[in-house]
Amino acid sequence: MNRPKLSVLNALGLGYEAVVRALWVLLVPLGLDFFFWLGPHISIHTLFERLIVAMGQTALDPDLQQSWDEVRRFLSEVGNNVNLLSLLATDFIGIRLLPIPTLKAFELPQSSEQELAQVGQANLIVIDSAAQAFVIGSGLLVLGLLVGSLFLTLIADRVRIGEARRSLPRRVVYNWLRLALFAVMLFAFYFFVGVPFMLAVTIASLIHVALGFLVILAGWTVTFWLLVLLSFVVYAIALREDGVLLAIWHSANVVRRNLLSTFGLVLLSNLIVAGTAVIWQSVEVSWLGNVLAIVGNAFVGSGLVAASFLFYQDRYEAWQVLGVSTK
């Protein structure tokens, strides 16, 4: 017997209701954003400059030189403004591991330059060693996963049906270890797959530019579907205390059985984030505006995380009920 499923819109509504009932969960993203805004900045722009210089020594076909110069200019802008501390939000140049709603972890260069002038050069820490940047970055990422585990566990407690099996500190630590293992697995996968993939792109491009483009398109398609199937892994870990492999299995099955509604949730969530981002940018012209933007972003993002938890919980239970009824 089929049970009624929670719609995407209902999940969003219930998610924000859950956050309103426990506004203190916003302390985690608020604390991170105020730290990113007012705290020190760790810059690795010298490492980017070395990369740009090395790229400039590469001889290219004149037809490709203009595109290459644009890449170098982009890297220069990013390198001058990236804050290594953004890894505390598991966010680095816009690549995010956990859904922690932060506004100041990584921003457009012009915004970062204004804020850096407000903070002052005294709070700017420059790292010019690749090894040092790797060690510090790894430590910040591990600490960021712990912060993310705390945030996800607190949100999961607001929507979970039934009692948790462990105390809050134990659940935070267990989830942290599993999230760290999941991150390591992702990095390892992309490293071992990425190297031969880049080799394949190079060979295909030498044969014909169009063939190289097709290989890149195929790689992007595979990556997209992989990320979609893994959409609920972190939610499965935090909500059901699943191990990493079991969480991957549960996430893939929930997505596969609810593909259209999953796309709807992802699309609507991204539209909300993009729409509110325009509002936050328009008010970030003063100290008070920055505070309002940080608070608003924390609330909007936390509501979306709670909605994702509720959606996954509902669709997982529907899958289990269907499995029992067919036995």
What are the tens digits of pLDDT across the range 159-194? 887 676 778 899 999 999 999 999 999 889 888 888
Spatial contact of 113 and 63, defined as CB atoms under 8 Å apart:
no
Query: What is the sign of the dihedral through the CA atoms of 268, 273, 274 and 278?
Result: positive
- Total domains in the chain come to 1
Residue 86 located in a structural domain: yes
Query: What is the sign of the dihedral through the CA atoms of 65, 70, 73 and 79?
Result: negative
Residue 286 located in a structural domain: yes
d(CA 216, CA 203): 12
CB atoms within 10 A of CB 79: 20
Residue 246 located in a structural domain: yes
Which residues constitute the domain of residue 269?
A: 8-44+82-325
Model pLDDT for residues 261-297, shown as the tens digit of each residue:
999 999 999 999 999 999 999 998 889 999 999 999 9
Residue 3 located in a structural domain: no
Question: Residue 42 pairs with which residues in a beta bridge?
Answer: 125
Residue 66 located in a structural domain: no
| pTM of the entire predicted model | 0.84
Residue 275 located in a structural domain: yes
Nearest-10 Cα torsion for 257, 238, 269, 307: 80
Residue 296 located in a structural domain: yes
Question: Residue 41 pairs with which residues in a beta bridge?
Answer: 124
